[in-house]
Amino acid sequence: MVLRRLAPRPGRYFRAFPRSFSGLTHISDDGQRPQMVSITGKVATVREATAQCIIELPQETLEALGVGEGPMHDTSTLASKKGPVVSTAIIAGVMAAKRTSDTLPFCHPLPLEAVDVDISWLSRSELCVQCSVRVTHATGVEMEALTGASVAALCVYDMLKASSHDIIIKDLRLMSKSGGKRRYERVGADSEHPGK
């Protein structure tokens, strides 16, 4: 039996974008197919980005961690049956940031120069996860920062899920980026982070 290779029909896997969307860099000019952006010719500069998310812990998880009504615990002492929660999550976040292009198809593989994951108390029942990334390259690192923060939070969930499935990961967002064509910094109450 001879199998013929069928060319994908426009719209088979996704709908074609109208011409008004031609400014989207990850869509071809005809709006028919996804594409990786060429960074050939772009100037390499120091690019930095920071992202964060919040982990909301239910009462049963706080009790399992031994977090009571007294002084706030140092996050480095938080442990579950699987082991130290925060240090494991920090390692997971760093590893994920370095492998961002393995999971997001149009991200360029980047030789990251620094990844810093910080996990601290935002309130008595909330942890703030923040990931900062730096590279000298022709493209930015906001996706690496977002990936690092989200995977670190997922690792916290994995370390603590035996205590409750009501743990909530929320408010994943870019806090700042610099070094590229557009600088961005979140302002106001949303920019506050107790660990920095």
Place of tokens 């029909």: 9
- 98: number of Cβ within 10 Å: 18
- What is this structure's pTM? 0.81
Walk along the chain (196 residues) and give the pLDDT tens digit of each residue: 455 555 555 555 445 545 445 566 666 666 677 777 778 888 899 999 999 999 999 999 999 999 877 667 789 899 999 999 999 999 999 999 999 999 999 999 999 999 999 999 999 999 999 999 999 999 999 999 999 999 999 999 999 999 999 999 999 999 999 998 889 999 865 565 554 4
| Short-list 13, 44, 16, 38, CA closest to 25 | 38
- 178: number of Cβ within 10 Å: 16
**Length reported for the chain:** 196
Residue 140, SS3 per DSSP:
coil
**DSSP line for 13-43:** SSPPPPGGGTT-TTB-TTSSSB-PPP-TTPP
Query: What is the C-alpha to C-alpha distance for residues 80 and 87, in angstroms, rounded to an integer?
Result: 12
| Short-list 182, 119, 166, 177, CA closest to 144 | 177
**pLDDT for res 27:** 67
**pLDDT for res 191:** 60
Q: Catalytic one among 29, 74, 158, 166? A: 158
Per-residue b/e over 104-137, b at no fewer than 16 CB within 10 Å? eeebbebebeebbbbbbbbeeeebbbbbbbbbeb
Whether residue 190 lies in the annotated active site: no
First to last CA, the chain: 64
